[in-house]
Amino acid sequence: MRPSPSVASSGDTAAPPPRMYFIPFPTPGHALPMSDLARLFASRGTDATLVLTRANATRLGGSVARAAAAGLRIRIHALSLPAEAAGLTGGHESADDLPNRELAGPFAVAVDLLAPLFADLLRRRPADAVVFDGVLPWAATAAPELGIPRYAFTGTGCFALSVQRALLLHTPQDGVASDTEPFLVPGLPDPVRLTKSRLAEATLPGADSREFLNRMFAVERATAGWVVNSFADLEEKYIEHYERVTGKPVFAVGPVCLVNGDGDDTLERGRGGEVAAAAEAARVLAWLDTKPARSVVYVCFGSLTRFPREQVSELGMGLADSGANFVWVVGDKDAAPVEADVGRGLVVKGWAPQVAVLRHKAVGAFVTHCGWGAVTEAAAAGVPVLAWPVFAEQFYNEALVVGLAGTGVAMGAERGYVWGGEAMGGVVVGREAVAERVRGALADEALRRRAGEMGERARRAVEVGGSSYEAVGALLQDVLRPTPEPMIITSRSEERA
């Protein structure tokens, strides 16, 4: 993983590399792809600093240290989360560590209190560009007097962003009589139909959607462009559509997980150099080595999903009834699953080396919540998706994968859970549906072929000359292009707008 001579310069080969900061929202679903993104840009010759809370710095430190030892200019700058000032106790520095939703409010306040710390970092060590998480709007306006261009990392794809924007602007969901009545999302390149039961909370009638809309517009005004963990062959129409409706360039540079090779970076991704993580990765992969090609369904719902006990039980019984081999990652805070057939099933608690598992020849399908990181990792591996959205924009991602890309099938979840209120959500998908969908996906040759073709396109996208490779170069040229003095946008002026 040596730096490639891709940073453009104006004929001065001794010019210093551009310095870039990458700052994600502190939770694995955001920090992992941002870490991959920082390594990707470092591999193209930039001087990359990944800004993390201390908990996530520990988790991601191993891969960054290995990249630096291999010659890349990359480092982590750790910030202490001002938890006590926000009334947050318990030492929680990552959203997935929160024991209940009641702490989400204080956690959000603590994250906002990182703003002056980040601004101070920029003043002490100025950069040529900042790539900030789109849910951290204060990162777009920190230290405005420096005039540093800011690029928003969207955290999801352009299809979901386009759907969300249309729902907030046009509110078609307000005109239906029930939660299950389909409605057309207006203004998109394709006819997309949803129901209120499948919407993110922020877009539901009665939600404080105006606040989300104002935040969205504030980020649009402040950003120089969008950095998206996606690639042209997955959602080209929506990359172009989002550029058009926001008036800002979109740099689709993914799938960023492909920056991970086949070594320790893949085996320990998200768990630093933990001895226990390395041992667990070895255990899972050794078990997969004993299974026939494409015979295993991998089941994982990300770091934030917490199913009620009844749903965990139905899922476990459905997997057992399917007759398929399976690897099932059960969340740390989930109820214990039913006893699985030890010959066909491997139950993993808390974490598995997901990128390595998806690349394994034994894996034939992936039951996922359709978080965007999981969607792009499945696309990169060429593995069919069994889509089971849970909350946020995950139902929109399902619509892309199942309805437009054709690389997945729906598990049958017609409604999601409210994060923090899962215990009252009951059973969304029953054991019969689980068994039927798993059996069907593993036997579907056409589905497997479409997913495999998407995997080939993903890999070509990041190779020299591919669409994502070229997008990285275009963003670097944009960073280095001389620009006039920027208009300084302050938080107060944004509120007036």
30, 92, 241, 360: the active-site residue: 30
Active site residue 179: no
Beta-sheet pairing, 183-184 with 193-194:
antiparallel
Beta-sheet pairing, 183-184 with 19-23:
unpaired
Cα 426 from Cα 416, distance rounded (Å): 10
Using an 8 Å Cβ cutoff, are 399 and 192 in contact? yes
Using an 8 Å Cβ cutoff, are 348 and 280 in contact? yes
Using an 8 Å Cβ cutoff, are 42 and 74 in contact? yes
Cα 199 from Cα 167, distance rounded (Å): 9
Using an 8 Å Cβ cutoff, are 379 and 311 in contact? no
Distances (CA, A) of 49 to 23, 131, 142: 9, 10, 16
What are the residues whose beta carbons fall under 8 Å from the beta carbon of 394, sequence distance 6 or more? 369, 370, 371, 416
452-462 burial, b for 16+ CB within 10 Å, e for fewer? eebbebbbebb
What are the residues whose beta carbons fall under 8 Å from the beta carbon of 310, sequence distance 6 or more? 426, 427
Cα 107 from Cα 160, distance rounded (Å): 25
> CA dihedral in degrees (353, 354, 355, 361; nearest 10)?
100
96, 133, 265, 334: the active-site residue: 133
Half-sphere exposure of 374 (CA within 13 A, CB side): 29
Active site residue 133: yes
Active site residues: 30, 133
